[in-house]
A and B are shown apart, each in its own frame.
Chain A
Amino acid sequence: MAGATIEIENLTKDYPYGFLHLKKKRSLEGLTMQVEDGEVFGFLGPNGAGKSTTIKLLVGLIFPDAGTASILGKPITDIEMHRDIGYLPEQPYFYDYLTAAEVLDYFARFHDLTAADRSERVKRMLKKVGLETAGKIQLRKYSKGMLQRVGLAQAILHDPKVVILDEPMSGLDPIGRREVRDIILELKREGRTVLFSTHILSDAEMLCDRVGVIVGGKLRGVGAPGEIVGMKTQGMEILFELPASTATSTASANAAGILAKAAKTGDRYRLQVTEEELYAALEQLRSAGAKILSVTQVKATLEEYFMHLIEADRAQAAAVEVSGK
């Protein structure tokens, strides 16, 4: 078995649209990347970037216009490949006339498991995703977050070697997100390979060995989360309070200049400075009698990074257009 666990080569997908489907919109362009054995790989990109398109190509729900991909050395067109993968669709939906236990048992039937094994696994999975008490309720009564949990359970029910999750944290409350993160980390500990998509940087930073950033159907970079995004700090933010007693004193006069630069919300001030200015600013605040609440690094948000890439795209497109004339 040569190569990576997930091997993607020049994968391209066009969606036809318009009159008689004559026009085509390219939603994935020449994607080439690898996911290595046992790693957690985050697929990062804004909405409409092509994340779901890539994942649906990998699991065989749609077919590429060009390019190939293989998982565990088997081409994605090979049905055998499906034995070893688990997939959580984006905003999953299941047969609403079934209970969670029934739907999991149904999916388990496609994996050559004995009846006893199936029922044992179903119970274990329901417990794992926190649905043990809701297992006998029809899915039509489930909330979005609960369906997401069912989706996760069916994706890992058969102990797949490769787990592919499309926006696993979306639709979940903070506790749910945390539980999903724990499950992903557990999968990693068990030596499984995980590919998941997200548009939330912190999820990726917390979990991934590597991330791939995709914008506008094109892969923009692959690497450790820190290398790719957000590491260029934009300075430091100081959060502080000024006791009312000192507000009129001469000390505060010293701080007047710095206060003018700070943003006030309620009793608190927020001041952004460069890394070089940090100690001088802290000194000034100390002499003004300010109470420092926190100092944090300000990173570019993923949104800003995406915007930056999208703007670069537009500039390039404009340049091409000009030179073309």
Chain B
Amino acid sequence: MKRAGAVALNTFREAVRDRVLYNLVFFALLMMAAAIFVGQISIGIEELVIKSLGLSAISVIGLLIAVFIGVGLVYKEMDKRTLYALLAKPVRRWEFLLGKFGGLVLTLAVNTVAMAAGLLAALVYVKQHLERTDTVLFVAIYFILLKLMLVVALALLFSCFSTPLLAILYTSAFYVAGLFVEEMRTFQFATPNPAASWLLRGLSYLLPNFENFNVMAAAAHGREIPGALILQNTAYAALYCIIVLLIAAAVFSRRNLK
């Protein structure tokens, strides 16, 4: 665990020393500032605009970071051969993978907190105070983070055996398909074709169900989010990440480095 922690901290350090990261976060904060002005034009719904634009910005920037850094996590170390000296140390390959995963999740968590602070600042600026219903925002942000963890796990898996470009393609495909899992579940009963029904059913279990994590609309309108959903999403994300990481570890542990 200590060794995975060392890898995680180093991964975090790499991200922090990368200028791209700051640019993305800066861009997100810029979007929130812009939301204030857009909100001012649309009188009465300015709070709604800031909340939805802010949450979208946090989600999109997080996704960009998760995918673009995620697909290089393992590939880059193999390609540049930085992994060679490391794997000769007493560190297991799965510990390395876990560290890489943890490092990027830590990076995302820090960025998300920074962006969330920006969003709250924008809200306070407009409303002059915060209400109890605004706490729903924190739940929405927590769900975004869970979603990002799933994306990182998938990107990491693909990073173990394909080039970054392909891995971006695979990860995005999984992400987009994962947005339609609910539709697949309903459609499997509607189709008369048993093969298609089976396929849809299989896919709906295989793909990460991202729809459950999207509570942006509810949060923007200040609607309560049931505690059961919070528990369910947490458990789902944890389980899905563990399974994907186990597959990644199985793939990577057998892999010959070039």
Contacts and interface: CB of A to CB of B under 8 A. Distances in A.
B195 interface: no
B256 interface: yes
Interface in B21-68: none
A110 B254 CA distance: 22
A73 interface: no
A9 B18 CA distance: 46
Interface of B: 2-3, 6, 10, 13-14, 17-18, 80-82, 84-92, 254, 256-257
A95 B88 contact: no
A154 B85 contact: yes
A109 B88 contact: no
A95 B82 contact: yes
Interface string A43-63: 000000000000010011111
29 contacts: A56-B84, A56-B257, A60-B87, A60-B88, A61-B257, A79-B90, A79-B91, A79-B92, A80-B90, A82-B89, A82-B91, A85-B88, A87-B84, A87-B85, A87-B88, A88-B85, A89-B85, A92-B84, A95-B14, A95-B82, A97-B13, A98-B13, A107-B86, A109-B3, A109-B6, A110-B89, A112-B2, A154-B85, A155-B85
Q: Most A CB atoms within 10 A — which of B3, B6, B85?
A: B85
A154 B2 CA distance: 19
A111 B91 CA distance: 9
Among A56, A83, A88, A95, the most chain B Cβ lie within 10 Å of the Cβ of A95
A16 to B, nearest CB: 9
A87 B180 CA distance: 49
Interface of A: 56, 59-63, 79-80, 82-83, 85-89, 91-95, 97-98, 106-107, 109-112, 151, 154-155
A92 B85 contact: yes
Contacts of A110: 3, 6, 86, 89-91
B90 A97 contact: no
B81 A92 contact: yes
Contacts of A89: 81, 84-85, 88
Interface of A is mostly: mixed
A59 B87 contact: yes
Contacts of A154: 85
Given A95-B82, A110-B6, A61 B90 contact: no
A82 B90 contact: yes
Contacts of A85: 88
Nearest to B11: A95
Contacts of A92: 81, 84-85
Given A106-B10, A110-B6, A97 B17 contact: yes
A154 B90 CA distance: 13
Interface centre among B14, B18, B254, by most chain A C-beta atoms within 10 angstroms, is B14
Contact of B257 (A62, A95, A111, A155): A62
Given A56-B84, A83-B90, A89-B88, 16 more contacts: A59-B87, A60-B87, A61-B84, A61-B256, A62-B257, A79-B90, A79-B91, A82-B88, A89-B84, A93-B82, A95-B14, A97-B13, A97-B17, A97-B18, A107-B89, A154-B85
Given A61-B257, A106-B6, A109-B3, A94 B90 contact: no
What 10 A-B pairs are tightest by C-beta distance, nearest first?
A87-B88, A110-B89, A89-B84, A82-B90, A62-B256, A109-B6, A59-B88, A61-B257, A97-B17, A83-B90
Contacts of A59: 87-88
Contacts of A86: 88
Nearest to B79: A93
A155 B86 CA distance: 10
A287 to B, nearest CB: 62
Contacts of B91: 79, 82, 110
